[in-house]
A and B are shown apart, each in its own frame.
Chain A
């Protein structure tokens, strides 16, 4: 019988452009120690550690978990390293949860991070491969045409992306850990910010951050002794598809829809809009909120933007989305997915502080990566399934 498992501790660093005050080890320990304290655990209570991060070239260290082993109390323990592009933070949390669910371990610490300031991420992303034409300008250059494809398909009003960005930036003001904070942000500031990759504006774009996130995941026996409300992991799902193939729907990828369908089925959810109280989803460019709302079955195809327009996804809406300010406000790439999973857990634990959704009992954490091709998701709740 698979074990029930729950998030019993959550920790994160303050996210900012350059955390030059700490080493990589220091950054990870900051998040890990907060998660351990939150869980009422010592290093010695942890059976295994799972590390997630995006490309090694972002820090310039190959398989950095090896040198981080001692800082994370891993000597003599199993240590594991996951890398699934932008979805890695989510996938890492799922891998950690499965070490518990399988009965292999009782308490697992998982940490995801990025410290791009130690290398040169622009360089790492733009190594010129001979024979290939280099015209795609980073993630924005890749995703902008897909967003335009969505706009064309859905006939959404042009200001949907601005509204999402405004909401997320206002939510970030309530999150003490958020990287980007614009205290007087308003619609016009977003609308008038420069176009970077038309149709994506500067203020509709995520930053690059240094930061880390950590979770302690425990089995039922240990969760029962946790000092705070556990966030029970009711269901997880992962799906991948290739970057490019003939007939691929890049706007609403089947891997996304399939992962969502599996997730809702496993969590015994038939009407996600009714049964989920709030979501933290991976929105690196504002238009991805309506795109994922449709793909996740919260809205009919072509009408996800109406949720944004009607205020359903606002902090006081019927399905708040990205209460923490989301990826638009903090983006330590390797940790961004885990932050979504962690914020979902904190919501159902009642630990989300100023951006708490009152009475949230069941929440979605979501991450995606690569060319909209790797998806990982979980449903966490106040009670086990």
Chain B
């Protein structure tokens, strides 16, 4: 496999409701920032790929408008995944492995504020058996949290502590949406939204965009910050039928982690795409991450959860952490589907 590095990362500040701007208005400065920090002239970027969802925008072919932000004339080699931007990064990584290009711009965007997220996510379920039940995304996560508590693997207190830790460290993340110091007793005194989940266990609804430039060959090392190498990347998926799997475990994360070589070296930290507090527990176990591993130096998805790019943001934040010299090797994770159905693992390392 070719060495592929994350040359740069850029993102918006995440907010509850970006009503002022269009998607294109939001994308132009972010990708401009990512490209200029990469040190690779735009004319030399070999491939573009982005992740988004028509249902987030409430419009068929919504992704087409994003091409308007790319300055795609002369025409560009470009593709789109109806997945989180982390998978757009995967497609670009594969393209680079083919030897066809030496650099790529990937991005993801979502404006969950346009629709009603809990209802929209219901449309992601099996349309014959699960969807018609009317179950929403928080209720699904609550089923998983309950199963985890019943299995003795977590508690409402531990979940609150996870939320507190993520939002405390997010105070240092200028792009985070929900940050601050919270007290466990006060949080536990709050009512549940869907038992056992309280507000603090759930992610915020976020509007935002993030972008990464990948580099290979002699494009590596031209950027503002030190290149961070993708040492392994893999993604796997579990059953969609919630009754068909043990919700307290994530076999697809475990398998993707093994295939990506998570433990081929020391894991100093992990950026886990765990939108709900209890999911951090499941992911830690699946990846075999001990207490010594720092989880979510950025504050994770509990601090900002831009749909369709929260996974790519984890990869970008992990790369930024390494490029800043705060760690030498770490793991980034992205998820998709109800109750962590699909998972991607990316192992990152500095020079």
Contact = CB atoms under 8 A, between A and B. Distances in A.
A373 B82 CA distance: 18
A119 to B, nearest CB: 9
A286 to B, nearest CB: 24
Interface string A47-86: 0000000111111111110111110001111111111110
Nearest to A67: B126
Contacts of A77: 236-237
A243 interface: yes
Contacts of B100: 98
Interface stretch (B11-19, B50-58, B298-306): B50-58
Contact of A240 (B1, B76, B91, B337): B76
B55 to A, nearest CB: 4
A201 to B, nearest CB: 26
Interface stretch (B202-210, B239-247, B283-291, B314-322): B239-247
B121 interface: yes
Contacts of B236: 76-78
Given A104-B97, A241-B67, A242-B68, A84 B80 contact: yes
B82 A56 contact: yes
B124 A66 contact: yes
Contact of B98 (A2, A68, A237): A2
Contact of A75 (B65, B90, B235, B239): B239
Interface string B272-313: 000000000000000000000000000000000000000000
B127 interface: yes
Contacts of A258: 74-75
Interface string B231-259: 00011111111001000000110010000
A188 B6 CA distance: 61
Interface stretch (A124-132, A143-151, A203-211, A355-363): A124-132
Interface in B31-84: 48, 53-55, 58-61, 63-65, 67-68, 70, 72-83
Interface string B90-107: 110011011110000000
A370 B59 CA distance: 14
A156 interface: no
30 contacts: A56-B60, A56-B82, A57-B54, A57-B55, A58-B60, A60-B127, A61-B127, A62-B53, A66-B336, A66-B342, A69-B237, A75-B239, A76-B236, A76-B238, A78-B236, A79-B342, A82-B80, A83-B63, A84-B80, A98-B94, A103-B97, A239-B76, A240-B72, A242-B73, A244-B68, A245-B73, A248-B73, A255-B75, A258-B75, A373-B64
